[in-house]
Amino acid sequence: MKKIFTLLIFAANLCLAQDIMISNPTEPCGPVRQDYWLSKKADIGQRTRAGAETEKAVPRSKAFTAAALDSYDFGTNVRVNDNPAGTSFESVYSSGGHSMAARGDTVYLAWRSDRNPRSTVYFDKSTDGGQTWGTDVRITDSDSGAIMPALAVGKDGTIYVSWTDYRDPSGYRHIYFAKSTNGGTSFLPSVRVSAESGEMPQQKSSIAVNDSGYVFIAYEDWRNYTATAMDIYCSRSTNGGSSFEPAVRVDDCTDSVDQWLPSIAVKDSIVFISWTDFRNTSDLYSDIYFARSIDNGESYETNILVNDTIGQVNRSQWSSSIAVDEYIYIGFADNRDGNYDVYYAKSNDGGLTFTTPNLNLIDAAGQPYAQGYPSLACDDSGGVYCAWEDIRNDYNNARQIYFGFSKNYGDSFSFNIHVDDRPLDDSAWLFTPTICVNKAGKVFSAWDDGRNNIGGTKYDIYTTAGTFVNGVAGQPIENNPNPVFRIQCYPNPFNNRTTVDYQIPKTGMVTLKVYNISGQVVSVLVNNIQQGGPHSVKWDGKDDQGREISSGIYFARLMTDNSTRTNKITLIR
């Protein structure tokens, strides 16, 4: 193979896992970052480049509205993998960010584990809403190496998992699949997904299943192998995964450039796929493209550009995640402003067009922070949910997990919420979340977590569950599941000064910021470690530069290590 792959995050000679790459010594022996095959993208931790050239810069759009009064409370984090903590590299990373699913209070999760001599894929489930987890179940039936699993659960409870596998004699990676018909107690023998492509490599799969039991798996495929370019293909099974039909090409690019990282969703007989695509910049910078099939995956329509940055250089969009209900939602990492943020687009017409301008979901955007690896999910009641890794706290460049949500079919989003229970000034690295939601709107997330091996190369899998907290405009949070965590402003409305009373349950890092209706920070009132208990601070209706701000609606947002409360304030001059 001709393509040379480089690590962009850490030193290339640092290896987390045992050697699983058989035929290509230029590929590292297990990723320091799970996207180690990517060579053209920038590190999400990269700071703004001096003198970066920009043409026709597209302004970011934000949609933070009164829904910011609502919130999600995330509980104590729970470790899933049952091998000793901090002893191996465990990763939920998958193309498209979908390695988790929920049906009621039953939560399903697949991940890569390096506890054995070579990487394998494991599964576990929780039947009590993520509070406890069972015994890890090994899925892969080969010792040759298996990574990057994706998971879907059918209407009848059948569990479907695909992954990148190294068992074939050539040593090249291919996509394999297995399913469980007994709730995950065991898995049937593995099946190769696309044998008709011969020995050319395939990698990075994303999986979906419709209510008829048709299984669809999208992945990167080298079968055309022109100038080392990869394309997006999708394989279909009409017999529940017992066998797969010849794959269908999804992208319609005719140039010798790459298409990467597919994410797939299905609704009835319509299949939806998004991916990272280099066609517009001769393999230098990437866009997000989309295609759909309206005939159960037999063919795919003309590809549609999702992001709105055509004409802007020194920028890339990549690592998309797709979710579908009545509408189509796509989240992606985007560095149009120099640092990576998480952007989002929605299609209201079945995928013929996508909303512009794209929405920036990050309320710390414009600061020297970076975010990436979004995972997107939706429910049946207008809820859209996105989790990502985030270095906004910028402590030893460590990542944490953040989250935003919409309750109006993705037209506006909440302020960002800290998901994991690590202190904001913690130095543990938390990577690549996956997210899912049940029909009741309860959110579950899992991620790679280095808390048990800080500064090392071993990661465990941690999860948490988030419960919706309904807010009422201008009033304290109702039905607060944590009554010792609250915020209230008085007088409200106010003319020249208001008092913000708040209470936190325990000692920790606290931030209290005032935002305008556009989601921009107006004033930082608190940003330090405080003792648990009641506190009070006054705001004089001025920004951080001491300038009086205009009349209008503002939001006081209180955030501790893993909980957020917001109170609406009205300023009348």
Task: Burial-class residue 532 by CB neighbours within 10 Å (0-12, 13-18, 19+).
Answer: middle
CB neighbour list of residue 247: distance below 8 Å, 6 or more residues apart: 193, 194, 196, 197, 221, 233, 234, 235
Amino acid 425: pLDDT:
80
Task: Burial-class residue 15 by CB neighbours within 10 Å (0-12, 13-18, 19+).
Answer: middle
Q: How far apart are CA 21 and CA 36, in angstroms?
A: 12
Q: How far apart are CA 156 and CA 535, in angstroms?
A: 51
Amino acid 471: pLDDT:
60
Amino acid 63: pLDDT:
53
Q: How far apart are CA 404 and CA 68, in angstroms?
A: 10
Please, which residues bridge with residue 183 across strands? none
- At the topology level of CATH, where does 486-571 sit? Immunoglobulin-like (2.60.40)
The tokens describing 25, both together, are: 């010594």
Angle subtended at Cα 367 by Cα 366 and Cα 370, rounded to the nearest 5 degrees: 95
- At the topology level of CATH, where does 66-469 sit? Neuraminidase (2.120.10)
| Placement of tokens 């005719």 in the chain | 254
Phi, psi values for residue 35, rounded to 5°: -100, 40
| Placement of tokens 């797939």 in the chain | 264
CB neighbour list of residue 167: distance below 8 Å, 6 or more residues apart: 142, 144, 145, 146, 176
Amino acid 507: pLDDT:
86
Amino acid 199: pLDDT:
80
Please write the tens of the pLDDT for every residue from 194-225.
887 778 899 999 999 999 999 999 999 998 87
Amino acid 51: pLDDT:
29
* Residue positions counted in the chain: 573
The tokens describing 52, both together, are: 């970066």
The tokens describing 27, both together, are: 């590929």
Q: How far apart are CA 148 and CA 329, in angstroms?
A: 23
Q: How far apart are CA 32 and CA 8, in angstroms?
A: 10
- Rounded to the nearest angstrom, the gap between the alpha carbon of residue 447 and the centroid of all alpha carbons in its chain is 9
- Sketch the domain layout of the chain as residue ranges: 66-469, 486-571
Q: Are strands 552-559 and 508-516 parallel, antiparallel or unpaired?
A: antiparallel
| Number of Cβ within a 10 Å radius of residue 449 | 28
Q: How far apart are CA 553 and CA 573, in angstroms?
A: 12
Q: In what order do the strands lie in the sheet with 248-249?
A: 202-209, 215-221, 231-237, 248-249
Q: Would you say the pTM of this structure is higher than 0.85? A: no
Q: Is the peptide bond before 433 cis (omega within 30 degrees of 0)?
A: no
| Number of Cβ within a 10 Å radius of residue 550 | 8
Q: Are 521 and 365 in contact (CB under 8 A)?
A: no
Please write the tens of the pLDDT for every residue from 219-271.
999 988 765 689 999 999 999 999 999 999 999 998 788 999 999 999 999 99
Nearest to 440 by CA among 375, 383, 386: 383
Amino acid 69: pLDDT:
63
Residue type, 246: P
Q: How far apart are CA 193 and CA 184, in angstroms?
A: 20
Residues of the chain with pLDDT under 50: 1-60, 66, 472-481
Task: Burial-class residue 207 by CB neighbours within 10 Å (0-12, 13-18, 19+).
Answer: buried
Amino acid 172: pLDDT:
87
